[in-house]
Amino acid sequence: MIEPRIVIVGFASAQILDVTGPLEVFSSASRFLPIPRYATEIVSTHGGSVLSTSGLEFASTPIDEVVGPIDTLVVAGGRDMDLAAGDTKLVDNIRRLAGQSRRVTSVCSGAFLLAAAGLLNGRRATTHWAECAELEAKYPEVSVEPDSIYVQDGNVWTSAGVTAGIDLALALVADDHGRKAAAIVARRLVVYLRRSGGQGQFSALLAAQSANEEPIRDLLDWLPEHLVDDLSIPVLSARAHLSERQFSRLFKAEVGTTPAEYVEAVRMEAACRLLETTQSPVDQIARSCGFGTPETMNRAFQRRLNTTPTKHRFHFGPA
């Protein structure tokens, strides 16, 4: 049986999880699924030991020694992307190997290397939420989707930041062997087969974790356990012991979004988790997450995810 060949491209200051996240997914698939083993290799511009952003080194072979055919080319992201994108040898070889690959993918800011190689021209793509505006500005011929966990456009796949490389790799396993096979790997890795919603929710929720002001930080810790409560601005501002105007201004400064938008994001996240992991009726989930009615929750799903709770459960619910 032919082993699908996975070539992962790293470089000096690559982010280690961009490399090891997909690597572990393909390795786990090879160990726990009755499929041809994925044959993985890591390459870099000059080969040898490569120092990642975390200080951990990984071994690699020289990229110009690699010849096809390749099943899947994975390009990692990392720090100093301007330097990486300016590495002519690296970019030229990525372009060469892409022409010999069935699928071409990037993790996080690896999208900048695909764009520098001209591989994203006229295509939809994504990258880390904090880098989407820069990708769009530097490469206007790329249609950037800032709220996607990953994007597939033809045989080119791009993912959002860091851990989204695991989501991407699981999607590639599902593309090869079906959703049930990918679900087995996800369970082994103790991760969701596919996280609900887009990365915009993570940018908001992660920003909330770094809130500095105590009344806002305490409120955010309290909020997820009180989704069925009245979470209007008057109620929230009173709990934070601030005027409504002070509260709204401070919340936006600390969290990066409005209170109403954040509350809906937290309720959406809770609803998605219940849809994905339980058989609870949709109307019960709507009530328990603070939406009140299925119609209200449905409108939120349509607006934020362009789908319905029922469709979300069909695609991502319990097998």
E strand or H helix that includes residue 72: strand 70-75
- What pLDDT, on a 0 to 100 scale, did the predictor assign at position 55? 94
Residue 297: pLDDT band (50, 70, 90) is very high
Q: What is the mean pLDDT of the chain?
A: 90
Higher-confidence residue: 206 or 67? Answer: 67
Q: Average of pLDDT values for 121-136?
A: 93
Dump pLDDT digits (tens) for 195-229: 555 565 555 555 565 566 778 888 988 998 999 99
80, 109 Cβ separation under 8 angstroms: no
pLDDT over 90, % of the chain: 69
* Residue 277: pLDDT over 90: no
Q: Average of pLDDT values for 29-38?
A: 95
Query: Of 11-25, 178-192, 201-215, 280-294, which range is least confident?
Result: 201-215
pLDDT over 70, % of the chain: 91
Dump pLDDT digits (tens) for 131-190: 999 999 999 999 998 878 889 999 999 999 878 999 999 999 999 998 889 888 988 887
Catalytically active residues are: 108
User: What DSSP string describes 226-246?
Assistant: GTTS---HHHHHHHTTS-HHH
Residue 192: pLDDT band (50, 70, 90) is low
- What pLDDT, on a 0 to 100 scale, did the predictor assign at position 9? 98
Any alpha helices (H) in the chain, and if so which ranges? 16-32, 81-85, 88-98, 111-116, 132-138, 164-177, 179-189, 199-209, 214-222, 233-239, 244-255, 259-277, 282-288, 294-305, 309-316
pTM for the whole structure: 0.69
- What pLDDT, on a 0 to 100 scale, did the predictor assign at position 200? 54
Query: Burial of 166 by CB count in 10 Å (0-12 exposed, 13-18 middle, 19+ buried)?
Result: buried
* Residue 25: pLDDT over 80: yes
* Residue 261: pLDDT over 70: yes
Higher-confidence residue: 148 or 308? Answer: 308
* Residue 233: pLDDT over 90: yes
Q: Average of pLDDT values for 239-264?
A: 90
Which residues, including other chains, have CB under 8 Å from residue 114's CB and lie 6 or more apart?
75, 94, 98, 104, 106, 120, 125, 156, 158
